[in-house]
Structure 1
């Protein structure tokens, strides 16, 4: 096969390949693509995609069309699939093929003979699934434009109750069985699994951190359905959501954003959202993005009778004319070589504990800490601190951030201690005083007790700065610390310690019991106080400086090497325009509209905006 994965990137014939394309249903046929087959329409749509500069199309293989009976795969459907893959190749498009498609737009397009049985544990279904994926792999094997086979889009929604009963090993074994079957028929083909945001934020056994058998980690999310509060589609949080999902997935493999788009907004908002989000996720290292979806749908069949508004999410109107979001996507495509940066290792690490997604359902188990990790991600971005997300043993860097974990295992504590012992600085905030307090020997303080009433702890005061605290949206209980060997850096209004500094080996630990990263449930918590300055102060104690001083917090900065050499990407994630002054050229400035982005080459870097 032409596609390979190397160091978190997709290569095609050894050359970096950034997948930029769309999810596709023909407008008239919709989800009946394979049963109401119209090759002329498909071919023309592929031609239009390529003319717009796109290089990838995702096709959904509805399992009921390809396997109407449990003991054989429909030859006519396979022939139509092979024709579609060849037509895409002729147009210059790579293909992502989603195999076990039952769930679509909130409805089950059911395989009639499944009869409610588990897709992951029922022996007969497992045999049928393997027969099916082998048949598809054999058909596409001669075609070198197949980027990946997706085991199935959000397929856990086929039976969520059963999916949650699975163990992580159950999921891993199921993925390995089908991935191995595919590779036996088509050696070298890439395999992925497309998951929604629950595969990052939720405690379920499937997700970005449980895909050892996969070549690509498929992720996607939409602001209205985010597991964390997103104030609006035009908010700072919204256009950072999918880039965060991709960065989280990248800590576990090569991330591919398999769906990207917005719902419930006007065309101008949809375009603005798409531009900032796509630029950010590509600059952050995602292998590509496939927009939802190609064109508004005229189909009136399922699933659109139940959810007719799903028909309005296209990049083109029903008559084929492009919406503003299509113009935005073209701009992203033209700049892809500059946006797809190869970043140098950052001096700061954002650490993902072993139980960051939760796991466990006893009274001892609280929620996971991914929402706090997302909040820390946003704060570090606003502070313009470059960082890498890391899981497992942290590499040697200057500074490690571990935000509000709700559980620290002994392995986590050993890793954090070793990082400090080697001379690094660890910032740890408390996410659960029972299961995430690492001990007095690590933080230089004892927990006195907890109090449900946060009286006296309404703010964190540090060296002339004050940061308000809202305990009502936090899961951690207010606690009182007694410093033993640590130095007190910040206090609450009741004068008890709120931030400590403690020497550990050759390094140090900065520890806070404030709900700094657990306030995300309150709209305005992120931007209502200068949390970026709080994190800059912490970083300075680790000897780490921002990428650039003086940038507005809403502007993301990413520096690295693109296809054409060193590049810096600036993205305004805010809902208002910003003016960036050129430091070495008085009177010269650059204005970025809401959600606008730009790329700066080295020759433009002197006097760059700040």
Structure 2
């Protein structure tokens, strides 16, 4: 099945840009020479664009009035881009930046989204700025705001969507024909489980791309490296191209080598997750602005730069340059993600806003999907991320459906799972009691029909597990043989650290714990089957520090074997993640990402002749640098690769 693969006409690889002459106040301290020096460094490392900012208090000093001096500076800024063949995406409503909010003086605390006069002022501002610059060849696109939920606050979804529609219409009224999006960070319900009013799905109806802002911190290294990739999968819910509109780190929080490592991992894992643009935060450091807000009170914000305050490249820029060269080799606009036979199901409870359903459980659905995504990557199993529809219903056509640590699924979907199994699919579900004490227990339908079990729960209680659960297979499951064991470390709170006691009816027990209790049960349905894990293995890992890799990947590998899913490139190492992109001329680019802290040599298999990007044949093994990346080609020679 096809995975989401919506792309902009051009690949965006660049950086958010504030000149070192002033940060957000750069337009008051504008230096054409410094800007050109800054852009030249970016250009020489393969970056092709920037995201720029109309700092609102400066560009609209009064109602229906623009500052002509600032506009002339921005016009020169565009010319500086054009001189290098670069482009930029301007951002209109810039009231929040780097840990502080700034209002135009005339706003007087009027609501951003619902005050009619205030909305009209924003629309006037957007339209007139667009009209000034819409025909300039250096304009690549438009963004309405910068993280406006932080500045304008949250609001009901219909209000936010109506405001956004008027802003996009203002761009079009001003002659803006380039791609446009909102700039809200894509932090809405469909991605985070928190309802801010900024619905990714609803805003996609108005816009041309979705732009996640990703700065999440973690307690697990592999989870940290793959978090943005999974966010890309979730953000594609609106069927729009995904642009990593902001990402990066302050080098106050990481050494140079580890900052470079983070960038490399981030870029290549999001490439195979369907991203079509990458705009780092940000172009430079601001050591000379230590006395200026916001840097005076958020000093770490001075050091997000990919160059230092003198314009010298920092390690993240090296990773960006390397990535740029790979994208050039691939000719990314002609590539698409390889088809997959396996899907991770995201329950509709993440984003449907069902009544009397709490945010704790919504967020858990995202966390469990993320951990399943990690385990699938460790298993060498390319997956799609699909969503249950709000009225029930799952997309058909996959050989393997993974439903990780599920408490809730809509009633019609449980019935459909049995139909999918009868149609030949392998359906895997693991149970989770959830972290909320309210209505604790499985919101499931017909487990007897699907799995061949009846629950043996006592009302209002849960069934705790040991600190470490060792499951022993009493029968083969895919490529796991009878007698082999898997081990899982329990985690979670007093509600979720539990298993599902069952009485087996016509299912087959294939794995038990040390007490002989059923841990894995299989029920055959014609040519397909349903597989039940009575313990929430994904939940345990999602709630643990430094959990990955853990044995869920081995279970997923067995499920893939059971479902007869072929792997185009086999790597028998959970610390080497593999996925691929296919170009329209038949060349396949296999992306190997190492999670090993040391240099390692891995064995690869798959039948097709492999080369490196230069056309040199690759043998049975590939050498990977610590946390490094390798790109291998099949389906064409060096001429095709170029």
TM-score, normalised with respect to structure 1: 0.87
What is the CA–CA distance in structure 2 between the aligned matches of 1:137 and 1:596, rounded to whole Å?
42
Query: Residue 404 of structure 1: SS of its match in structure 2?
Result: strand
Change (3 A) 1:187 1:429: same
What is the CA–CA distance in structure 2 between the aligned matches of 1:30 and 1:183, rounded to whole Å?
29
What are the superposed Cα offsets for residues 237-276 of structure 1, whole Å, 9 maximum, x if unpaired?
A: 2221212212222343211001222230111111111112
Do 2:5 and 2:337's aligned partners in 1 also have CA atoms closer than 8 Å? no
What are the superposed Cα offsets for residues 122-174 of structure 1, whole Å, 9 maximum, x if unpaired?
A: 222211221122122212221243222112222111154xx1xx333333333
What is the CA–CA distance in structure 2 between the aligned matches of 1:57 and 1:365, rounded to whole Å?
36
> Which of 468, 479, 501 is residue 480 of structure 1 equivalent to?
501
What is the CA–CA distance in structure 1 between the aligned matches of 2:302 and 2:319, rounded to whole Å?
20
The offset of 1:379, in angstroms, is 0.3
Query: Residue 553 of structure 1: SS of its match in structure 2?
Result: coil
What is the CA–CA distance in structure 2 between the aligned matches of 1:589 and 1:322, rounded to whole Å?
33
Q: Does residue 1:352 correspond to 2:346, yes or no? A: yes
Query: Residue 468 of structure 1: SS of its match in structure 2?
Result: strand
Q: Which residue of 2 aligns with 1:215?
A: 208
Do 1:471 and 1:515's aligned partners in 2 also have CA atoms closer than 8 Å? no
What is the CA–CA distance in structure 1 between the aligned matches of 2:501 and 2:39, rounded to whole Å?
63
Do 2:257 and 2:315's aligned partners in 1 also have CA atoms closer than 8 Å? yes
Q: Does residue 1:572 correspond to 2:598, yes or no? A: no
Q: Which residue of 2 aligns with 1:337?
A: 328
Change (3 A) 1:251 1:108: same
Q: Which residue of 2 aligns with 1:260?
A: 247
What is the CA–CA distance in structure 1 between the aligned matches of 2:592 and 2:202, rounded to whole Å?
33
Q: Which residue of 1 aligns with 2:8?
A: 10
The offset of 1:517, in angstroms, is 1.2
Q: CA RMSD in A?
A: 3.0
Do 1:491 and 1:497's aligned partners in 2 also have CA atoms closer than 8 Å? yes
Q: Which residue of 2 aligns with 1:3?
A: none
Do 1:220 and 1:259's aligned partners in 2 also have CA atoms closer than 8 Å? yes
Query: Residue 234 of structure 2: SS of its match in structure 1?
Result: helix
Change (3 A) 1:587 1:153: closer
Point out the more displaced range, 264-273 or 562-571: 562-571
Query: Residue 146 of structure 1: SS of its match in structure 2?
Result: coil
The offset of 1:314, in angstroms, is 1.1
The offset of 1:545, in angstroms, is 4.0
Q: Which residue of 2 aligns with 1:43?
A: 36
Point out the more displaced range, 465-474 or 293-302: 465-474
Q: Does residue 1:286 correspond to 2:268, yes or no? A: no
Query: Residue 596 of structure 2: SS of its match in structure 1?
Result: coil
Q: Does residue 1:454 correspond to 2:501, yes or no? A: no
Query: Residue 518 of structure 1: SS of its match in structure 2?
Result: helix
Point out the more displaced range, 314-323 or 144-153: 144-153
Q: Which residue of 2 aligns with 1:513?
A: 534
Change (3 A) 1:97 1:581: same
1:197-346 pair list within 5 angstroms: 198-199=187-188, 200-204=191-195, 205-212=197-204, 213-224=206-217, 229-231=218-220, 235-252=221-238, 253-263=240-250, 264-297=253-286, 298-300=288-290, 301-338=292-329, 340=332, 341-346=335-340
What are the superposed Cα offsets for residues 301-321 of structure 1, whole Å, 9 maximum, x if unpaired?
A: 221111112111211122222
The offset of 1:456, in angstroms, is 6.0
TM-score, normalised with respect to structure 2: 0.83
Q: Does residue 1:438 correspond to 2:451, yes or no? A: no
Change (3 A) 1:593 1:604: farther
Q: Which residue of 1 aligns with 2:21?
A: 28
Change (3 A) 1:383 1:547: farther
Query: Residue 600 of structure 1: SS of its match in structure 2?
Result: strand
The offset of 1:70, in angstroms, is 3.2
What is the CA–CA distance in structure 2 between the aligned matches of 1:243 and 1:174, rounded to whole Å?
29
1:44-59 pair list within 5 angstroms: 44-59=37-52
What is the CA–CA distance in structure 1 between the aligned matches of 2:22 and 2:273, rounded to whole Å?
36
Do 1:372 and 1:404's aligned partners in 2 also have CA atoms closer than 8 Å? yes
The offset of 1:337, in angstroms, is 3.4
Point out the more displaced range, 61-70 or 382-391: 61-70
Q: Which residue of 2 aligns with 1:402?
A: 403
Q: Does residue 1:186 correspond to 2:185, yes or no? A: no
Aligned length: 584
Q: Which residue of 1 aligns with 2:58?
A: 65
The offset of 1:370, in angstroms, is 0.4
Q: Does residue 1:555 correspond to 2:576, yes or no? A: yes
Q: Which runs of 5+ in 1 are unaligned?
A: 1-5, 12-16
Do 2:141 and 2:178's aligned partners in 1 also have CA atoms closer than 8 Å? yes
What is the CA–CA distance in structure 2 between the aligned matches of 1:334 and 1:582, rounded to whole Å?
24
What is the CA–CA distance in structure 1 between the aligned matches of 2:81 and 2:60, rounded to whole Å?
23
Q: Does residue 1:468 correspond to 2:491, yes or no? A: no
Do 1:25 and 1:294's aligned partners in 2 also have CA atoms closer than 8 Å? yes
Change (3 A) 1:372 1:145: same
Do 1:220 and 1:245's aligned partners in 2 also have CA atoms closer than 8 Å? no
Point out the more displaced range, 131-140 or 304-313: 131-140
Do 2:579 and 2:591's aligned partners in 1 also have CA atoms closer than 8 Å? yes
What are the superposed Cα offsets for residues 437-491 of structure 1, whole Å, 9 maximum, x if unpaired?
A: 2332333323221544514695252422132241435863533122333332333
Do 2:306 and 2:313's aligned partners in 1 also have CA atoms closer than 8 Å? yes
Q: Which residue of 1 aligns with 2:429?
A: 428
Point out the more displaced range, 552-561 or 245-254: 245-254
Query: Residue 171 of structure 2: SS of its match in structure 1?
Result: helix
Do 1:106 and 1:303's aligned partners in 2 also have CA atoms closer than 8 Å? yes
Change (3 A) 1:430 1:357: farther
Do 2:11 and 2:276's aligned partners in 1 also have CA atoms closer than 8 Å? yes
